[in-house]
Amino acid sequence: MMSANLRTNQCIATCPACGLLCDDVLLENKQNKLNVLNNNCAKSFAFFAPSLDENLINTTPKIANKPATLQQAIMHAAKLLKQAKQPAFSGLSTDIAGFRAIYHLAQKTNASLQHANAQSMARNIDVLQSAGWQTTTLTEVKNRADVLVCIGSDIVSHHPRFFERFILQDGMFVSAKQREIIFIGENLSLEKLKNDAVEATSLLPCRAADLPEITLVLRALVTGKQLKAITVAGVKVSDLQSIADKLKNAKYAVLAWVAKDLDFAHAELTIQNMTETVVTLNQTTRAGALPLGGSDGDTSANNANTWLSGLALNDTHIEHDCMLWVNSFSADKLPPKTDKPLIVLGNINHRLEQAPDVFIPIATPGLDCSGTLFRVDSAVVLPLKKVRGYHQPTLALPTLSEVVSEIESLL
């Protein structure tokens, strides 16, 4: 096994940079700097080897942009939450343990919860709640899918290793050369896809805004409807009929999308057209929907919130008199501008546009501490390791759970 041949400065880790949670990443620690050795994923590189320039990183807690001790910052955050009557906890980019701690604090303070990806999450949740759906898993895709239709989403940009790990490899019941990949949409990074191992790959270009109409026609054709129209939104109906025939003749068809890319009016109708197409296909063959995404811990946050409260995490508009912003993963995602008190429990690489009332740097799961996350298909929970070691004692960061528990104890 690979682990038996690892050097003392190497380890295998799980990468939380996207929803795939690739658990085969080989890391090497050289002079306290991590290097990814076994893949070319830009997201993995950016996650495991961020800048650690002491002049740039935010490792010191701050109150009103002035350095403070951790305990002082925690006490001030608790004071602001005590004064608030309608706090909002936003961002929520963390692992399962971190979200559980935030959830319990929200219950104690009567706070609303909103993930940074709330708008894109809501597109999927609206369809799931109103009509239900029949989804598949990444493992089933690898083992069975012979026709994959990617609709309106640049999957390669969101999940650089999706095709490498689940499509370009042979599965238990289908070989890579037997698969057919069909892309419907625009601005798809097909040049990034090395598809020499795939028998057939085709692109049906169309505008994103036309996807509700196009997917509706595809759904009708799969159902067996006869259409008089020759084109729909500039796309030949005969081309859509060809795709419908391939879906109906497939042994295991998969329709995949990333909700974040479906950013246009009535996007939820596009998703429902896809999921209802899957329902129709399953009457005569096997098919599954594959909603991809899962960045910033949003799949884990929604799953944890559902089992703790019985409700989906889908607040998209929140009135508040104090905001607590949580982001332990991505330094690029910043809190929305607010004129209310702002508490940030954040990544050490944050470049905050607005100086918060309280800033507390927290450990990043998968780098500075261990943790767990749901994979995007919610089929498995994967462990994250502490892989970054600091020689500077000032960079021994507290976890989100530790900080939140301290705040809660003061309320």
Given a cut of 70, is residue 191 above it in pLDDT? Answer: no
Per the domain annotation, does 335 fall within a domain? yes
Given a cut of 80, is residue 120 above it in pLDDT? Answer: yes
305 and 394 fall within a common domain: yes
Per-residue pLDDT tens digits for 262-305: 999 889 999 999 999 999 999 999 999 999 998 999 999 999 99
pLDDT at 214: 96
213 and 328 fall within a common domain: no
Per the domain annotation, does 225 fall within a domain? yes
285 and 142 fall within a common domain: yes
259 and 189 fall within a common domain: yes
184 and 244 fall within a common domain: yes
Per the domain annotation, does 11 fall within a domain? yes
Question: To which H or E segment does residue 252 belong?
Answer: strand 252-258
Per the domain annotation, does 310 fall within a domain? yes
How many structural domains are present in the chain?
Answer: 3
155 and 262 fall within a common domain: yes
Last residue of a domain, one of 248, 267, 292: 292
Distance of CA 410 to the CA centre of its chain: 33
CATH code of the domain in which 75 resides? 3.40.50.740
Residue that is written with structure tokens 């799949």 in the block = 299
22 and 76 fall within a common domain: no
pLDDT at 308: 95
Tokens of 99: 């979200």
Tokens of 338: 């607010």
Given a cut of 80, is residue 187 above it in pLDDT? Answer: no
Which residue range is the domain that position 106 belongs to? 62-117+297-409
d(CA 332, CA 329): 9
pLDDT at 2: 47
pLDDT at 225: 94
pLDDT at 200: 59
d(CA 313, CA 129): 12
Better-scored residue on pLDDT, 176 or 332: 176
Q: Count the Cβ atoms, other than its own, within 10 Å of residue 108.
A: 12
163 and 282 fall within a common domain: yes
185 and 229 fall within a common domain: yes
118-131 vs 298-309: helix crossing angle, rounded to 10 = 50
- Mean per-residue pLDDT over the chain, rounded: 90
pLDDT at 393: 46
73 and 169 fall within a common domain: no
Per the domain annotation, does 397 fall within a domain? yes
Structural contact between residues 149 and 253, judged by C-beta atoms closer than 8 angstroms: yes
186 and 267 fall within a common domain: yes
149 and 288 fall within a common domain: yes
Per the domain annotation, does 124 fall within a domain? no
Given a cut of 90, is residue 388 above it in pLDDT? Answer: no
pLDDT at 320: 92
pLDDT at 248: 97
Last residue of a domain, one of 292, 324, 359: 292
